[in-house]
Amino acid sequence: MSVYSDLRAKVNKVWQTVETPPRPRIAVGITTCSRAQGADETLAAIRRELAQRKLEADVVVTGCWGLCYAEPMVEVAKPSGQRVLYQQVTADSVPRLIDEGLDGEGVCGVLALAATGATPVQGVPSLESLHIITLQTRRLMANCGVIEPDSIDQYIGRGGYEGLAQALAMPSEAVIKEVTNAGLWGRGGAAFPTGRKWDFLRGSKTQPKYMVCNADEGDPGSFVNRTLMESDPHLIIEGMAIGGHACGASNGFIYIREEYPLCAERMRLAIGQARERGLLGPDVLGSGVAFDLEVVRGAGSYVCGEETGLIASIEDRRGMPKIRPPFPAQAGVFAKPTNVNNVETYANVPLIMRHGAPWYASMGTEKNKGTKMFSLSGHIQRVAVLEVPFGVPLRRLIDACGGLPEGRTLKAIQPGGPLGGIINAQHVDIPLEPEPFREQGALLGSGGLVIIDDTACIVDLCLYFEWFAEDESCGRCTTCHGGTQRMVEILRRIANGAGRSSDKEMLRLLGDTLRWSNCAHGTAAPTVVLNMLDAFPEEYQEHVEGKRCPARQCRGLVRYEISGPSPNLPAAAAICPTAAIVGKDGAYRIDQGLCIKCDACREIAPEAVQVVDALAPSTV
Amino acid sequence: MTETAKTPPELEALVADVKPDNADLLAVFHHIQEAYGYVPPEAIPLLAAKLRTTPAKVFGAMSFYSEIRTEPPPRLTISWCSGPACRLKGGENIRRALESILDVELDQSTPDLALGLRLVQCDGTCALAPLVRLNGRPRGPLTVAEAIRLARELREAGGNGRQA
């Protein structure tokens, strides 16, 4: 503990200067989602503007508050204690921000989102009062947006690595007991108790042993792990190091998907800093315990998120899941005992050690302790990452994110990625914990929640998700690659208007068969289709028997028609990629042989272009 | 990009530190791809020797991962996001329009390697859905009409035009 105390004492000043900066501190959140919205340009513009005006201020890079819709975000902190978080600060708006927001007690009102400090700011709501924040309990995300992810000092200054120091002072059994008492289970989707999993590895006598972090977050629409890695990388390192001590493993890998280069960059930097401070290496914090880590970058494969597929990928092979047993705790990476946990699972561990199991278990529900991060995307006003205690009703997250687009109604929710299933809107009050989702035949999964409104077609979405499952099937077992392929063929036929009444039985049979696949990819692949048959029977039936797509999304079941005159029709004809809109003497028609149903003409001339049923009696 | 010194010594330098059972293969694929734009076939026997395995195993691993290219990339890669948020907001319409205008399908390039269309996975920048990326730079949210205008502009410029 004394080595840690020394470390902490050295950085106390660092954190104080963040809390009460000696001169204005301008923090720009640089993450994958803010970058996509121009945060790099914002940062450059701030530096340029300050230099030109010869203004004194510190410009730093922070992480993500989870408010993707408000990016790029900039926080201005002043020596007076005034702290204001600004939203949608594009490079163009930087001069205005600096004009109004940097001097004295000035605030740039148009861009201000919230006051982040203890001092109230007139005319600006406090961060805690924002609807999207009020709902949340930010434990895992406590540092997100607040600290500079490239600064180990700030992490330590906020209490970081204290959990590791405490764990190292305890016998490994006691660490595992604490994790078990906290009730922590794996956040990757399988929800297996973490303490028990660690105990398997601890019990193994073979050396070396490996701690592996699954940062492959492959579920499209899920970006909670990315938020943590980009905003607070040391939290994950600390969790893995505690796990290493608990299990007697001295090596670790963080397997990061190809799509997350910034995560890899920040994790690598953080690992290097942790080594320099003796928080990783042959003698962690002078305890005699050895633990070190390295980053492995994936290369584009969904099934590498399955733990044995991930292990195969680390072993320089095709990332194909293996047949179990042996389980990873017996023979994992390079046939050595291995434990694989998700990013968010590891991130919980330092908090448990620092604050104790009772504190941890004070949040959540009877069966599910603690908090969970969720990412909301799709038909939602505000794309965001939120952290809430288990058991909060799903509807409250949707409301906190501003609800659906204007005038639309909720149709479905897709939790847990393409294999997680699809839930009917009538269950929108479902508590966010695994059991109620299982009752609906779906999976809560790793945190992605895709919100779907009434413009979407469930058959079309099923075809899309099933196609994803087919495309990402590794090909090892015929059950999976053949089963998903067959399902896609049937769904495609239905979407093209050639559905048969026998298809329902066939899809159920395939669903039952896929349950016998080797790994979770195949067993979960039919979830979405079975959910459709159970939860959206009318819509399915209308496609098969009525040859109609009520949402007019399935391309084989719709036709584009010119329904009347419009001054916009020449422009619509000009935008058509296939020149399918033929005009003569001011009268236009669509050549159905050329039309690819891309919808561009309807965007341009909505009053004159109609989407009609192709096979059912026409309404035009 | 593709004609930069493709000499075996350079390639050998890139694979020099590769060891068996050391989780090196994906990293070296990335390094080679950063240098060459793709993993040239000459790399396969070199890597097999380093890893004490067969060229077939190396090629097997290489062909498993969708982001490891076995052919030179086009000058301009238009990446089409296949994620659900993009899909719900018209991404499929955009794909159809792009394929039609550029006259290539997903994961194909024009014969002169000016332009290519690639399927990419969701990275969670869903606030911009539906989006495409031009050599990595996101453009979104796009209407279908905007995507069509963009594709026509890029086709005219033959992959050399404005890229952001």
Q: Are residues B46 and B89 in the same domain?
A: no
ipTM of the complex: 0.94
Residue B1 maps to a domain? no
Mean pLDDT of A317-324: 95
Residue with tokens 């290489």: B62
What's the rounded mean pLDDT across residues A559-581? Answer: 96
34-63 in chain B: CB under 8 A from chain A: 51, 57, 60-61
Average pLDDT of chain A? 96
Q: Hey, how many other C-beta atoms are within 10 angstroms of the C-beta on B124?
A: 29
- The pLDDT assigned to A294 comes to 97
| Same-domain check for residues B138 and B105 | yes
Q: What class is the A555-613 domain?
A: alpha beta
| Cβ within 8 Å, pair A377-B129 | yes
Residue B7 clears pLDDT 70, i.e. is over it = no
Q: Do B153 and B82 belong together in one domain?
A: yes
Q: With cut-offs at 50, 70 and 90, classify the pLDDT of residue A584.
A: confident
Do B60 and B119 sit in the same domain of this protein? Answer: no
Output the pLDDT for position B141. 97
Domain boundaries A13-134, CATH class: alpha beta
In a domain, residue B2? The reply is no
- CATH class for the domain made up of A458-544: mainly alpha
Q: Burial letters for A110-149: b for 16+ Cβ neighbours within 10 Å, e otherwise?
A: ebbbbbbbeeebeebeebeebebbebbbbbbbbbbbbbbb
What confidence tens digit (pLDDT) does each residue in B117-141 have? 999 999 999 999 999 999 999 999 9
pLDDT tens string A144-188: 999 999 999 999 999 999 999 999 999 999 999 999 999 999 999
Residue linked to tokens 């395995």: B53
pLDDT digits (tens, 9 = 90+) for B22-55: 999 999 999 999 999 999 999 999 999 999 999 9
Contact A20, A64 (CB under 8 A): no
Indicate the pairing of strand A371-378 with strand A384-389.
antiparallel
pLDDT of residue B5: 46
Closest CA in chain A for residue B54:
A317
Residues 4-33 of B with CB under 8 A from A: 20-21, 23-27, 29-30
**Which structural domain, as residue segments, surrounds residue B86?**
76-157
* Best CATH choice for the domain A371-453 from the list 3.30.70.260, 3.10.20.600, 1.10.10.10, 3.40.50.720: 3.10.20.600
B58 belongs to a structural domain? yes
Cα separation of A392 and A404, whole Å? 19
Residue range A286-314: mean pLDDT, rounded: 97
Start and end residues for every CATH 3.30.70.20 domain found in chain A: 555-613
- Convert the pLDDT of each residue in A21-48 to its tens digit: 999 999 999 999 999 999 999 999 999 9
Whether pLDDT at A251 is above 80: yes
Query: On the CB side of A593, how many CA atoms lie within 13 Å of its CA?
Result: 1
- The H or E element containing residue A472 is helix A458-472
Task: Please report whether residue B94 resides in a domain.
Answer: yes
Shared domain check, B151 and B88: yes
Instruction: Please tell me the distance from the alpha carbon of residue A117 to that of residue A104, in angstroms, as a whole number.
Output: 16
pLDDT in tens, A57-113: 999 999 999 999 999 999 999 999 999 999 999 999 999 999 999 999 999 999 999
Residue B44 has a pLDDT of 96
Residue B82 lies in a domain: yes
Task: Report the percentage of chain B scoring pLDDT > 90.
Answer: 89
Residues B95 and B142 in one domain: yes
- Which among B27, B51, B122 is the nearest to A221, CB-wise? B122
A228 contacts in B (CB within 8 Å)? none
What is the tally of structural domains in chain B?
A: 2
Whether B163 maps to a domain, the answer reads no
CATH code assigned at B147: 3.40.30.10
User: Are A377 and B85 a contacting pair, CB within 8 Å?
Assistant: yes
Lowest mean pLDDT among A2-16, A230-244, A297-311, B77-91: A2-16
Using the predicted structure, report yes or no on whether residue A293 has a pLDDT greater than 90: yes
A382: pLDDT strictly greater than 50: yes
Residue B6 has pLDDT above 60, yes or no: no
| Domain harbouring B26, CATH code | 1.10.10
Q: What is the pLDDT of residue B3?
A: 47
pLDDT band at A123 (very low <50, low <70, confident <90, very high): very high
Same domain, B85 and B51: no
Domain end residue (candidates: B64, B92, B110):
B64
A160-359 maps to CATH 3.40.50.11540:
yes
pLDDT at A616: 74
Tokens of A118: 């203890």
Residues B89 and B150 in one domain: yes
Q: By the CB < 8 Å criterion, does B66 face chain A?
A: yes
Let me know: does A506 contact A544? Beta carbons within 8 Å.
no
Strands (E), A281-355: 292-297, 338-342
Q: How far apart are CA A388 and CA A451, in angstroms?
A: 17
Beta carbons of A610 and A569 less than 8 angstroms apart = no
Three-state secondary structure readout of chain B: CCCCCCCHHHHHHHHCCCCCCCCCHHHHHHHHHHHHCCCCCCHHHHHHHHHCCCHHHHHHHHHHCCCCCCCCCCCEEEEEECCHHHHHCCHHHHHHHHHHHHCCCCCEECCCCCEEEEEECCCCCHHHCCCEEECCEEECCCCHHHHHHHHHHHHHHCCCCCCC
Give start and end residues of each alpha helix (H) in A536-611. Answer: 537-544, 569-575, 600-604
**Does B3 map to a domain?**
no
Q: Looking at the structure, tell me whether residues B58 and B81 fall in a common domain.
A: no
Q: Which of B64, B84, B110 is the last residue of a domain?
A: B64
Asked whether residue B69 is domain-assigned, the answer is no
Per DSSP bridges, beta strands A25-29 and A58-62 are parallel
Contact A404, A390 (CB under 8 A): no
| Same domain, yes or no: B104 and B139 | yes
- In 10 A of CB A499, how many CB atoms? 24
The pLDDT assigned to B164 comes to 42
Task: Tokens for A275, please give them.
Answer: 């080594």
- Please work out, in degrees rounded to the nearest 5, the angle formed at the alpha carbon of residue A388 by the alpha carbons of A382 and A394: 65
CATH 1.20.1440.230 residue ranges in chain A? 458-544
**Rounded average pLDDT over A433-460:** 96
Q: Which residue ranges does chain A devote to CATH 3.40.50.11540? A: 160-359
